[in-house]
Homo-oligomer: A and B are copies of this chain.
Amino acid sequence: MTPRKTVQQELTKEMIMDAARDLFSEKGYQHVSMRQIAKELGYSHGALYYHFKNKAELFYALVENHFSMLNTVLDQIMKKEMEPREKLREIFTGFIQFGLTYQSHYEIMFLIKDEEVRNFMNEEPNHTYEKFAKSVYSLCEKNVSIQDVWSIFLSLHGFVTHYCRHVVGYEDVKGLAEAHANFLLRAIL
């Protein structure tokens, strides 16, 4: 019985979130239990509840930053000095790269069906999409419709979703991702 560990090995929110992240990547959100997360950390499951009110709150803490990460990716690309066409390509591959690099994040952000979890995310998805859409739209000038931008998003989403399911990293499909980006570019130019 060791009802409290020494300070150096005390559990933190960050530790829990890191472990949770890893497990989600590996097994998917649905198949990770609080007990598993605790076991991974070498703590009892009860300890998690000291740091997070419940499972949903833990998930929300995780997902909260994921959208701003993606926003940052988009911002950084938009800042670059580059031809519009190249920039578009970068946005497309950048989106895919984000999705496949942070698969568990992506899953939670865009793939989870669970109502309970999704109710935690309010406007983040819309906000991030707005940023994406504005960027794409501004780089295409007038030969593209709002509809088209949405189609592009869905098409990228399809790419990420498929390869998420088969758990490969971005590097494994870099060539395919670029081809996909080119394919989409062809539709709008």
Contact = CB atoms under 8 A, between A and B. Distances in A.
A183 B111 contact: no
A67 to B, nearest CB: 16
Residue from A165, A183, A188 having most chain B Cβ neighbours under 10 A: A183
Q: How large is the interface on A (under 10, 10 to 19, 20 to 34, 35 or more residues)?
A: 20 to 34
A99 to B, nearest CB: 11
Interface stretch (A55-63, A68-76, A131-139, A154-162): A154-162
B154 A180 contact: yes
Contacts of A111: 161, 165
Contacts of A122: none
Interface string A92-135: 00000000000000000011111000000000000000000000
A165 B117 CA distance: 13
Contacts of A153: 158
Interface of A: 28, 30-31, 110-114, 147-148, 150-159, 161-162, 164-165, 167, 176, 179-180, 183-184, 186-188
